[in-house]
Amino acid sequence: MIVLQSATALQPQISLDHISADQALKLGTQFSTIDPWANYQDTPARLTAYFAAHDDAAARYAVLCGDDLAGAVVVRHGWLRGPYVQFLGVLPEFQGRAIGSAILAWFETTARAAGERNLWIAVSDFNPGARRLYERHGFRVLAEIEHLFRDGTSELLLRKTLF
Give the angle 9-134-40 at the CA atoms, nearest 5°.
105
- pLDDT tens figures, 10-28: 788 999 999 999 999 999 9
Range in 2-11, 28-37, 127-136, 137-146 with the lowest mean pLDDT: 2-11
Q: What count of Cα atoms within 13 Å lies in the side-chain half-sphere of residue 98?
A: 11
Phi/psi of residue 74, nearest 5 degrees: -125, 125
Report the amino acid identity of residue 115.
G
How much of the chain is in helix, strand and coil states, percent to nearest 5? 30, 35, 35
- Return mean pLDDT, the chain: 93
Q: What local confidence, expressed as pLDDT, does residue 10 receive?
A: 73
**Packing angle of the helix pair 44-52, 21-31 (nearest 10 deg):** 140
* The pLDDT of residue 147: 80
Residue 8 has pLDDT above 90, yes or no: no
> Which of residues 42 and 62 earns the better pLDDT score?
62
Neighbours of 72 (CB within 10 A): 27
pLDDT 10s digits, 69-125: 999 999 999 888 899 999 999 999 999 999 999 999 999 999 999 999 999 999 998
- Assign domain 2-161 to a CATH class: alpha beta
DSSP state of 74: E
Instruction: Please name every residue paired with 16 in a beta bridge, in sequence order, or none if there are none.
Output: 2, 63
